[in-house]
A and B are shown apart, each in its own frame.
Chain A
Amino acid sequence: MVWSRGRSERFGDSRDDPATSTRRQLLGRSVVAGAALAGGGIVLGPRARWAGAAPSRAQDVKIFNFALLLEYLQAAFYGEAVRQGALRGEPREFAEVVASHERAHVTYLRKALGGRARARPAFSFGDATRSERRFLETAVLLENLGVAAYNGQAANLTTKALAAAAAIVSVEGRHAAWVSDLAGKEPAPRAADPGASAADVVRSIRRTGFVGVS
């Protein structure tokens, strides 16, 4: 159900402005049947109408900057986990491989955004990088969040940006499955990966407490 929510919410901005709420009320009903998750089954509603603002270059910039925040966070997390040296065996290998992927995503997005790329915030991961258990738990959360964030914005992107985002989310999905298997969780828990609204993703990031107060 999540992907049908918050279509019209703004990217990287968790505030609920009146225009957004109004649009959501007006359009919410038409998309609410978009996807329903019931048991193992999924329903991708026939002919639900997409209600987000029409794709544009300006909107791509907002979405890519939103994605960049997530990629900064992931790259920093795995980088620190590798440096901490608390990981051994396959979890360490996972951290090294995925750190390099997330750095490549950061590089790609920064290049695409040029001068409009947001600055890297300060992060502090506490004990999340200091034990295997906490590391795996956090990695599962961050990778699933990445998948939900990209899926939630896919239909808001222009064609070219969508092709790039698809190449990235594909790898996030692989990371999510890999680390879930490592952590003893379901690698593919559902038949469809619902998208999350930008506001929901930002809320989830805030809840981690990893992003320094700015």
Chain B
Amino acid sequence: MSNVVREDVTLEQTWGELAQTLEAVDIDGALQETAAGAVRATRAGLFRRAFATLAGVAGLATLAEDAAAARGQTKNDIAILRFDLVLEYLQAGLYTEAERLGELTPKTLGWARVVGAHERAHVQAIKNLLGRDTVPSPTFNYGKVTSDEKAFIKTAVGFEDLTAALLKWQAPRLDSRSIVAAVVTLHSVETRHAAWIRHIVGLRPAARAFDQPASQQRMAELIAATHFISSRPRVTGRRRPKYTG
């Protein structure tokens, strides 16, 4: 096997490369500029749009605070878990579609198969944690990313590195220690995914001694820049479903 290690690749570089790749692939023809450039130029505006998208998707805006409090989960924790759930839906969908299309190299497909199964398990685990506060999956359109080796790799590295960084940001911000205990068991698996895909493509799996956190804002920006979310799901709002099991 060739030497793994090229050089230290920072989150910023990962982000920049991913943005370039997504532009090159031109997912929906709507990416006029690289996401990284867009973030620098109109950071506030993009963030507002990104977060509005996510908030709509995750139903954060319609959070039923009283219902959550009645079950001992804070509004804060539910918001964090809902954010994670949408992200896990997105990743599970991405890897599952790549596996189904089968157009990537065998090694990458092997990674997608295992990691896709993990992300689907994470979806279920977070749904269980949320109980009635869960949110439905949006519809995704991954464009060519699930069938183009180079685009897939960049996207996978970016999402795994950033998801791990996001969970590091969230963990100390959770109120419930039970949820902390659960979320950290997912966090280290995301770091394994990141290291593994990096190893496959010849990037250093562990670039430094301490991994930095990345905020929900950063992740919201990334998700918005990918244009993977193609439609809003039904927003259940405050109405309770008639049958909740």
Q: Which residues of A contact B (CB under 8 A)?
A: 3, 31, 34-35, 40-50, 52, 55, 89-90, 93, 97-98, 100-101, 104-105, 108, 147, 150-151, 154-156, 159-160, 162-163, 166-178, 181, 186-188, 190-195
Kindly provide the distance from the CB of B122 to the nearest chain A CB, expressed in whole angstroms. Answer: 6
Alpha-carbon distance between A138 and B102 when the two chains are bound, in angstroms: 36
Alpha-carbon distance between A55 and B129 when the two chains are bound, in angstroms: 22
**A47 surroundings in chain B (CB, below 8 A):** 71-73, 129, 131, 178
Interface band, chain B: 35 or more
Kindly provide the distance from the CB of B145 to the nearest chain A CB, expressed in whole angstroms. Answer: 21
B121, B168, B212: the one contacting A191 at CB < 8 Å is: B121
Q: Which residues of B contact A (CB under 8 A)?
A: 1, 3-5, 71-73, 114-115, 117-118, 121-122, 124-126, 128-131, 164, 167-168, 171-172, 176-178, 180-182, 184-196, 199, 204-206, 208-213
Kindly provide the distance from the CB of B207 to the nearest chain A CB, expressed in whole angstroms. Answer: 8
Are A101 and B191 also in contact (CB < 8 A) when A44-B125, A154-B181, A187-B196 are?
no
**B190 surroundings in chain A (CB, below 8 A):** 173
Kindly provide the distance from the CB of B92 to the nearest chain A CB, expressed in whole angstroms. Answer: 11
Alpha-carbon distance between A177 and B164 when the two chains are bound, in angstroms: 14
Alpha-carbon distance between A177 and B189 when the two chains are bound, in angstroms: 9
**A3 surroundings in chain B (CB, below 8 A):** 181, 185
Are A171 and B181 also in contact (CB < 8 A) when A47-B71, A188-B118 are?
no
**A49 surroundings in chain B (CB, below 8 A):** 178
A-B residue pairs in contact (CB < 8 Å), sample of 15: A3-B185, A46-B129, A47-B129, A90-B1, A90-B3, A151-B184, A154-B180, A154-B184, A170-B191, A173-B190, A173-B191, A191-B118, A192-B121, A192-B185, A192-B189
A193 adjacent to B185 (CB under 8 Å): yes
A154, A160, A178, A190: the one contacting B206 at CB < 8 Å is: A178
A89, A147, A192: the one contacting B186 at CB < 8 Å is: A192
Kindly provide the distance from the CB of B95 to the nearest chain A CB, expressed in whole angstroms. Answer: 12
A41, A155, A193: the one contacting B124 at CB < 8 Å is: A41
B185 adjacent to A93 (CB under 8 Å): no
Additional pairs, 20, CB under 8 Å, beyond known A50-B181, A174-B206 = A3-B185, A42-B125, A46-B130, A47-B72, A89-B3, A100-B209, A105-B209, A167-B210, A169-B188, A171-B206, A173-B191, A175-B195, A177-B194, A178-B195, A178-B205, A186-B114, A188-B118, A191-B189, A192-B121, A193-B189
